[in-house]
Chains A and B, each alone.
Chain A
Amino acid sequence: MSTVQFAGISKSFGPVHALHPTDLEIPQGQFLTLLGPSGSGKTTLLNICAGYLAPSAGRVVVGGRDITSLPPRQRNMGMVFQNYALFPHMTVGENVAYGLTVRKLSRDEIARRVAEVLRMTQLEGYGERAIRELSGGQQQRVALARAIVIQPDILLMDEPLGALDRQLRKEVQFEIRSLHKARPRTTLYVTHDQEEALVMSDRIAVMRAGRVVQLGSGADIYEQPADTFVARFLGESNLLEGTVRTLADGRATLDVPGFSRSLEGRAAGGLRAGAKASALLRPESVRAQTGGLQARVGERVYLGELIAVKLTLDSGHELWSRRHAAEWSGRDVVEIGWDASAVSILPDASVQS
């Protein structure tokens, strides 16, 4: 297991900048997820790390070694592909053993390691099975086993759970998480699913249009998003647009048209007094409050353990609330409020190229 460092990595395809110069470090044993919509550059960065794509500029350093010019087969990285890429003409065992046979290990050593990794991925006894006999979830585990059995310096995963149904996806997410906790491996994971990122990662790098927009733990990013894009991408959000009135000591106030009082909240970086910004209120913090703002209850959406309710203020703004069903029982006109501590004032995400 090694540390990974991207120094000034960028990638352009002609006039298209898939990746702007990016610096990123992954400490040893950390599970880092690149999270973003398609076109954000996350897969590009992964492929540069794996060596399938050469960067236009910058260096990739693994464990102190500059590997930028090395071809994939010399990088000792374990990659799990989106569609698994299991060799259809080999059995499960042969697939898993492939990287080991290439490294010319002894027959016994290979057998031992394959058996061990099959046990770890709950595929014990599947060694002789043909790939086409396996379900999607099983194939996914074989792909994972094949990648980790070679004891790679870094584990790379390119949206490996995309083809699985929701229930299975959740199960496998937890399995991968447990595997990581049992034996931490430096891992670079790519996904567009924010829930997935939150479940599995030690740290998340949110990417957009070829740049890393925010880097931090799931909690950091959820509670203190850097801008409106991150706020919208991770979790549900209510965003009220306005102008920054005051800015001091990490806190700011926002003038929102239609509100008699300016909103107060934590200030994200990059704010300027007098500039446009948005106030973020997570739906779970919008609650009933006697003496609070008047709002009319619109749609109610039953979500199982929660209920989502659309609230329309006199100013015309609409806010979603997600609380337990008891919160808004039956009434059409309510008084609402929120914790000032739950408010973030965020710069608007700019349109970048």
Chain B
Amino acid sequence: MNAMTQRLGAIALLAPAVLIALFAFLVPLARLVGLSFSAKAGPFVAYAQLLGDDVYARVFANTFVIAVVVTVVALLIAFPIAFALTRLSRASRRIVFACVLLPLWISVLVRTFSWMLLLERNGPINRFIVATGLSDQPLSILFNQAAVLIGMVHVLLPYAVLPIYAAIVRIEPALLRASEGLGASPATTFRRVLFPLSLTGVATAATFTFLLALGFFVTPALLGGARSITLSMLIDGFVTDRLDWPLAAAASVLLLVAALGVVAVASRFVPVGAIARVHR
């Protein structure tokens, strides 16, 4: 096969997927961007509305804060888990791995719904709290910020664990032995050898978790109620309730730009392929 037929072959092979990506991805997104400038009152009116209004500013802030908190909490839990995974026996590791990977197969809707069941006023957690006398009234732990945080950490934790695990497991065991042999205590070995070498994994985990958290819809919508509104919920409201397409499009573009920004910043520290590889 010469270079020419190779080229044609590659083009033919790529064609169907490219067409799908074009018409079901690029073109709709491009249209959306165009829509964001199509407000009757003027091309930039939608953006001005979004960026000028205090209410919306609070939604942006809320979304950002949730994403940051969820990412930090997830990383704090994920790192010890990933580290422990590399040290466990084969049997234990398989079990823990299964626990980490299994949730990824289950729809975010199902996972979020399970938290609704657990956190509601008459749910098992509240009934336990009242029964043991920790409080004489059921606590309102659903439909607020806390519930959203718990739900999102739960859903995103596996995405945080996997890249960190992948990075730690790649570290040559001889390096840790060398550090030990040179006189370093386990704490020093961790601080000066293991942790620095795991940082790319941490960066990948942080990027991916933050990215997903920023755009999350189902979990904040179901667990946050009216008390914790994220940008995605705002967009949904613009489309479903207000039928204000320019506004919805503008808000979507802002969210998209934020997501791309995160990827752009992260790609300086982390190979983008790694982010994709996390998603399996």
Query: A residues touching B (Cβ–Cβ < 8 Å)?
Result: 50-52, 71-79, 81-83, 85-89, 98-99, 102-103, 146, 150
B174:A150 contact, CB within 8 angstroms: no
In angstroms, Cα B184 to Cα A79, docked, is 14
In angstroms, Cα B178 to Cα A150, docked, is 13
Q: Cβ of B197: which chain A residues have Cβ within 8 Å of it?
A: 88-89
B178:A103 contact, CB within 8 angstroms: no
Q: Cβ of B180: which chain A residues have Cβ within 8 Å of it?
A: 52, 71-73
> Is B175 interfacial (CB-CB < 8 Å)?
yes
Q: Which residue of A has the minimal Cβ distance to B171?
A: A88
A102:B188 contact, CB within 8 angstroms: yes
Task: Output the residue of B179, B183, B188, B196 with the most chain A CB within 10 A.
Answer: B183
Q: Which residue of A has the minimal Cβ distance to B176?
A: A85
B181:A77 contact, CB within 8 angstroms: yes
Q: Cβ of B174: which chain A residues have Cβ within 8 Å of it?
A: 81-83, 85
Known contacts: A72-B177, A81-B177, A89-B197. The answer to whether A99 contacts B172 by CB under 8 A is: no
- The residue that A146 contacts in the complex, of B182, B184, B196, with Cβ under 8 A, is B182
- The residue that A52 contacts in the complex, of B175, B177, B185, with Cβ under 8 A, is B177
Task: Output the residue of A52, A77, A82, A87 with the most chain B CB within 10 A.
Answer: A87
Q: Which residue of A has the minimal Cβ distance to B189?
A: A73
Query: B residues touching A (Cβ–Cβ < 8 Å)?
Result: 172, 174-175, 177-185, 188, 192-193, 196-197
B177:A73 contact, CB within 8 angstroms: no
- The residue that B177 contacts in the complex, of A85, A146, A150, with Cβ under 8 A, is A85
Task: Output the residue of A51, A73, A83, A146 with the most chain B CB within 10 A.
Answer: A73
Q: Which residue of A has the minimal Cβ distance to B177?
A: A52
Q: Cβ of A88: which chain B residues have Cβ within 8 Å of it?
A: 175, 197
- The residue that B178 contacts in the complex, of A71, A74, A85, A89, with Cβ under 8 A, is A85
- The residue that A150 contacts in the complex, of B172, B183, B185, with Cβ under 8 A, is B183
Q: Cβ of A51: which chain B residues have Cβ within 8 Å of it?
A: 181
In angstroms, Cα B178 to Cα A78, docked, is 9
B181:A72 contact, CB within 8 angstroms: yes
In angstroms, Cα B185 to Cα A73, docked, is 7
A102:B182 contact, CB within 8 angstroms: yes
